[in-house]
Chain A
């Protein structure tokens, strides 16, 4: 008898599950930084920073338009999901735990159900008198925000990385200060140059 492990979680009144091997970590929402909207046209897409990497954040309460939760938002969770070449994050209200179930309790959706439902939830788990949709992260990532970093973001990240490296290597304070100033000048210089260009352009029009 083949057994499978699933993590069960809740968003509002809805319960979902996900195969355990996809899940690498579960964080408290308050431990996650850099949560922001990325796509102005579709505010359902968010991004966040996980281990210094910008990843798409799928907030199920937004996606499913669920406004009420039995759980304090401060204790909501972010699940880190790793696919072959991709990392995504999933914001949920509560993680119920892990269930080990027989494989035959995981059933494909009936043929009448197609489209996006099938891409996101191709199976359903029969568990404790409930039918729980099984999330397919690969199907979910078909609809993902663009998390490509802008030039400014790349410059800032490079600066952060360099500072991290300097701290780690315990370079003396003078050199640290010098390199910090140089890097800061690069960033500020770039911004100033752009603002100056904008200003000149505006003045030229007048």
Chain B
């Protein structure tokens, strides 16, 4: 992992992960603006049986069917006091349906694959942080292959995720299915 290059005028998007503080610091996800296609305030999310916990369901965006993904669950970040609203048996939301959430429309580097990231907290556009030292992922980060880098920032830790692998399903996480294979 390398240190960030000097920022110039580049801006990035950050939002806090819904996870307890690590070593007293908040964890943030960071995305380049080129990865972001849209920020959607409300969209209906439809549950999908047997899907792993990090798939919150499917949503329809301009005639496309897109997965709604929780990065926190995908990376198996600590849950802390966060109470899951999923049915552990099959991963279907107990309130089933259609609960609108704020979503970030993200795309793979080749722009062929899209997905929606579920975000409960404030999304910020900030100048790309300068001189953030790269860190070795700690034990709190079990899915290291899905992370390109962890950086120490003024406000906490910045996680740069490998969104291509996530959108392509290169994830080795067993779901919560009854007969999950």
| Residue positions of A touching B, CB distance < 8 A | 12-14, 44, 63-65, 107, 109-117, 119-121, 124, 126, 129-133, 143
Q: A63-B178, A65-B87, A131-B60 are in contact. Are A114 and B169 (CB under 8 A)?
A: yes
Interface residues on chain B, number (Cβ under 8 Å): 37
Identify whether the interface residues of B are mostly helix, strand, loop, or mixed: loop
| CB-based contact B92/A64 at 8 Å | yes
Compute how far the CA of A116 lies from the CA of B51 in the bound complex, rounded to whole angstroms. Answer: 8
Q: A14-B47, A120-B50, A133-B48 are in contact. Are A112 and B179 (CB under 8 A)?
A: no
Mask: chain B, 58-90; 1 = CB below 8 Å from A; 0 = not:
111001111101000000000000000001011
| CB-based contact A131/B46 at 8 Å | yes
| Residue positions of B touching A, CB distance < 8 A | 44, 46-52, 55, 58-60, 63-67, 69, 87, 89-90, 92, 96-97, 113, 115, 166-169, 171, 175, 177-181
| CB-based contact A14/B96 at 8 Å | yes
Closest 8 CB pairs of A and B: A131-B46, A117-B50, A13-B96, A112-B169, A116-B50, A110-B67, A107-B65, A65-B89
Residue of B nearest to A108 (CB): B65
Residue of A nearest to B91 (CB): A117
Q: Give the Cβ gap from B82 to chain A, nearest Cβ, in Å.
A: 22
| CB-based contact B49/A112 at 8 Å | no
Cross-interface CB contact of A133 among B49, B59, B90, B169, cutoff 8 Å: B49
What residues of chain A lie closer than 8 Å to B52, measured between beta carbons?
A: 115
**Sample of 29 A–B contacts (CB below 8 Å):** A12-B96, A13-B96, A13-B97, A14-B47, A14-B92, A63-B90, A64-B90, A65-B89, A65-B90, A65-B178, A107-B64, A107-B65, A109-B58, A110-B58, A110-B65, A110-B66, A110-B67, A110-B113, A110-B167, A112-B166, A112-B171, A113-B48, A113-B169, A115-B50, A116-B177, A130-B46, A131-B46, A133-B49, A143-B179
Compute how far the CA of A142 lies from the CA of B155 in the bound complex, rounded to whole angstroms. Answer: 50
| CB-based contact B113/A115 at 8 Å | no
What residues of chain A lie closer than 8 Å to B90, measured between beta carbons?
A: 63-65
Compute how far the CA of A130 lies from the CA of B65 in the bound complex, rounded to whole angstroms. Answer: 11
What residues of chain B lie closer than 8 Å to A121, measured between beta carbons?
A: 48-50
Compute how far the CA of A44 lies from the CA of B60 in the bound complex, rounded to whole angstroms. Answer: 32
Q: Give the Cβ gap from B75 to chain A, nearest Cβ, in Å.
A: 14
